[in-house]
């Protein structure tokens, strides 16, 4: 089982998306602010800004409801210094566009080689938009047996139900299952069911050429 964001794919910082963003006083966001903005938009766990009760509910349920996902991330952008609503909307739309996500250098090999060995492959993501097109447009879909997305199922990692759902769909035993992800807190929840767990670092794609293959080899999958 693979996580999506920070594991198989990454939303890379693209300066062209951020070049027109300005602070409330009209100044452009500096590089440090841009980097922090992208971190806040893709962090798998941990609250990134202080929120009112209304937005707290949206934050806690963002990966279960696309409307709440949009609502909270537009608020995160506003609280992070993006001054204008149209700027926030444009950046948010990049976030949920599967075409904008970059696969890690070894994503194709990790999926293809695992499937070629007859091992069932599942992708499990806390997310509020459909990531299947990101796989389809790169020819990866044939290497994935099941996709399980939180907003479609009503559970989020680390709830054991979400891991159990995917394990059952794959038709495998927990003790024969490896979860690969970038979050000890979220993805590591699979250990409660008896699954093995491999942690990968959500580095920029150019800085992690073989993290997936290393994890699979370490655990005897490849």
Domain residue limits at 32: 11-96
89, 109: one domain: no
Task: Identify the pLDDT of residue 154.
Answer: 95
Closest alpha carbon to 176 in 194, 191, 159, 199 = 194
How far lies 38's CA from each of 12, 31, 148, 210, in Å?
8, 11, 25, 23
20, 90: one domain: yes
pLDDT digits (tens, 9 = 90+) for 201-222: 999 999 999 999 999 999 999 9
117, 61: one domain: no
pLDDT digits (tens, 9 = 90+) for 92-104: 888 899 998 999 9
SS3 at position 156: coil
Of 18-27, 72-81, 120-129, give the lowest mean pLDDT range.
18-27
Residue pair 72/60 in contact (Cβ under 8 Å)? The answer is no
How many structural domains are present in the chain?
Answer: 2
215, 133: one domain: yes
Strand partners, 149: 125
* Burial (CB count within 10 angstroms: exposed 0-12, middle 13-18, buried 19+), residue 124: buried
What DSSP letter does each residue of 188-212 carry, written as one string? GGGGGGT-EEEE-----GGG-SSHH
Q: Which residues of 46-55 are buried (b: 16+ CB within 10 A; e: fewer)?
A: eebeebeeeb
Percent residues over pLDDT 90 in the chain: 66
pLDDT digits (tens, 9 = 90+) for 22-66: 666 666 666 666 666 666 666 655 666 777 888 889 888 999 999
122, 208: one domain: yes
Task: Identify the pLDDT of residue 42.
Answer: 67
Task: Identify the pLDDT of residue 31.
Answer: 62
Task: Identify the pLDDT of residue 19.
Answer: 60
60, 154: one domain: no
Task: Identify the pLDDT of residue 112.
Answer: 98
**Domain boundary at 45, 74, 96, which?**
96
pLDDT over threshold 90, residue 77: no
Task: Identify the pLDDT of residue 212.
Answer: 98
What's the rounded mean pLDDT across residues 100-112? 97
What DSSP letter does each residue of 10-66 carry, written as one string? E----HHHHTT-B-TTSPBPPHHHHHHHHHHHH-SSS--S---HHHHHHHHTTTT-H
Q: What is the CATH number of the domain that holds 176?
A: 3.40.50.1000
Task: Identify the pLDDT of residue 78.
Answer: 80
**Domain boundary at 46, 75, 96, which?**
96
pLDDT over threshold 80, residue 167: yes
Other C-beta atoms lying within 10 Å of the C-beta of residue 24: 10
Q: What average pLDDT is seen over the chain?
A: 89
């Amino acid at each position: 089982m693979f996580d999506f964001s920070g594991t198989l794919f990454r939303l890379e910082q693209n300066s062209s998306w951020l070049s027109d963003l300005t602070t409330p006083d009209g100044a452009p966001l500096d590089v440090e602010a841009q980097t922090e903005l992208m971190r806040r938009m893709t962090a798998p766990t941990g609250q990134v800004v202080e929120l009112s009760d209304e937005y707290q509910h949206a934050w806690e349920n963002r990966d279960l409801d696309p409307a709440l996902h949009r609502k909270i991330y537009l608020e995160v952008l506003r609280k992070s210094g993006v001054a204008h609503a149209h700027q926030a909307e444009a950046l948010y739309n990049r976030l949920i566009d599967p075409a904008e996500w970059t696969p890690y250098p070894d994503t194709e090999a990790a999926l293809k080689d695992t499937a070629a060995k007859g091992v069932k492959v599942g992708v499990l993501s806390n997310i509020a938009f459909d990531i299947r097109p990101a796989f389809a447009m790169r020819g990866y879909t044939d290497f994935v047996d099941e996709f399980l997305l939180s907003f479609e199922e009503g559970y989020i990692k680390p709830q054991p139900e979400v891991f159990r759902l995917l394990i059952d769909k794959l038709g495998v035993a927990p003790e024969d299952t490896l979860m690969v992800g970038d979050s000890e807190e979220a993805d590591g929840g699979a250990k409660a069911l008896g699954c093995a767990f491999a942690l990968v670092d959500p580095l920029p794609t150019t800085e992690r050429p073989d993290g997936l293959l290393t994890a699979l080899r370490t655990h005897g999958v490849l």
